Amino acid sequence: MPIYFKAAVRKYLDKAINLLLSQSDLQMKNSPQVKINQRMLFNFYRYSISQGRPFPLPDTGFRVFSQFEEDGILLYIFAAIGMEYKTFIDVGSGDGINSNCANFAVNFGWRGLFIDGNPANIAKGKKYYSGNPDTVLFPPTFVQAFIQRENINELIRDHGFSGGVDLLSIDIDGNDYWIWDALNVIEPRVVIIETHVEFGMNSIVVPYDKDYSYPGRHPDYHGASPVAMEKLARKKGYRLVGANNYGFNTIYIKNGVGEDVLPAVPVESVFRHPRNQERQKLFEPIKDWEYIHV
């Protein structure tokens, strides 16, 4: 068999295997057992909390659709505070499948809005949700747009969302801080937003650039430190309650909601993972660049 033919066959087989693994993974996420187990866990959490036995938030994480253990953490949070609106907004959603909001759409019947700038992501997400038996009759809304602070409120309002929502997720690898700062058309009860642990305990934000796209001038020169993001949260009426294991996806709850079960935690707590000691060394080459101190 010619070498070029063997290479072509190998390439085809690799592609087919990856496709099968991807389909198998999605089938597992969509299985009735995943849904049943999560609903049982949700009700167990609610009962335990009602009996005065809450769980430490870092111990509740697991992954179904989220990139890391955000699905489990968010499930516990909504067991504690309730699902009031059953709605989400995901800004910088990618395809809406590997998302902090997908688990609620598929396994808990939430409606929501996915916004992303990549048309291929939008097409993939639409195909998945329109073919999923749990969402086929009322799939989430997908919007393809380059996200800026100048258009974020209009994008959300023009697609049918305003006022109270349960969950806002922001992950755009750049202007995350400035997008949340500009948002006023919705009042999320919970916000999960990416911060830049590489900046350490410095209270800094990279200046806003409405045309920014990752990686920009430098792959680590973007975003806001956890300290700066926590200050913005307090200004907007939210408290830091935790983060994912690595600390960069920080989670905030609106003041007055669930404070007895989920009190504020110090910013230092998001740096607990040993990975962050290495990550902060990446700040050294860009420490003298332009920042806004907040």
Is residue 158's pLDDT more than 80?
A: yes
Are the C-beta atoms of 223 and 173 separated by less than 8 Å? yes
What are residue 143's DSSP bridge partners? 115
Burial, 6: exposed, middle or buried (Cβ in 10 Å; 0-12, 13-18, 19+)?
A: exposed
CA proximity to 251, closest of 85, 66, 57, 39? 57
pLDDT band at residue 27 using 50, 70 and 90 as cut-offs = confident
Q: Burial letters for 210-249: b for 16+ Cβ neighbours within 10 Å, e otherwise?
A: eebeeeeeeebbbbbbbbbbbbbbeebebbbbbbbebbbb
Cα 110 to the chain's mean position, in Å? 15
Instruction: State the Cα–Cα distance between residues 178 and 181, nearest whole angstrom.
Output: 5
Alpha helices in 30-118 (DSSP H): 32-50, 70-81, 102-107
Is residue 10's pLDDT more than 80?
A: no
What type of residue is 86? K
**CATH T-level topology, domain 31-293:** Rossmann fold (3.40.50)
Is residue 269's pLDDT more than 50?
A: yes
DSSP 270: G
Are the C-beta atoms of 250 and 226 separated by less than 8 Å? yes
Is residue 19's pLDDT more than 50?
A: no
pLDDT in tens, 37-77: 999 999 999 999 999 999 999 999 999 999 999 999 999 99
pLDDT in tens, 205-215: 999 999 999 99
CA proximity to 266, closest of 233, 241, 232? 241
Q: Where are the domains of the chain?
A: 31-293
Instruction: State the Cα–Cα distance between residues 226 and 203, nearest whole angstrom.
Output: 8
Structure tokens at 14: 């690799």
Q: Is the pTM higher than 0.85?
A: yes
DSSP 273: S
pLDDT in tens, 70-101: 999 999 999 999 999 999 999 999 999 999 99
pLDDT band at residue 12 using 50, 70 and 90 as cut-offs = very low
Model pLDDT, residue 4: 47
Half-sphere exposure (Cβ direction) of 233: Cα atoms closer than 13 Å: 32
Is residue 16's pLDDT more than 50?
A: no
Model pLDDT, residue 115: 98
pLDDT in tens, 116-136: 999 999 999 999 999 999 999
Query: At residue 244, what are phi and psi to the nearest 5 degrees?
Result: -70, 175
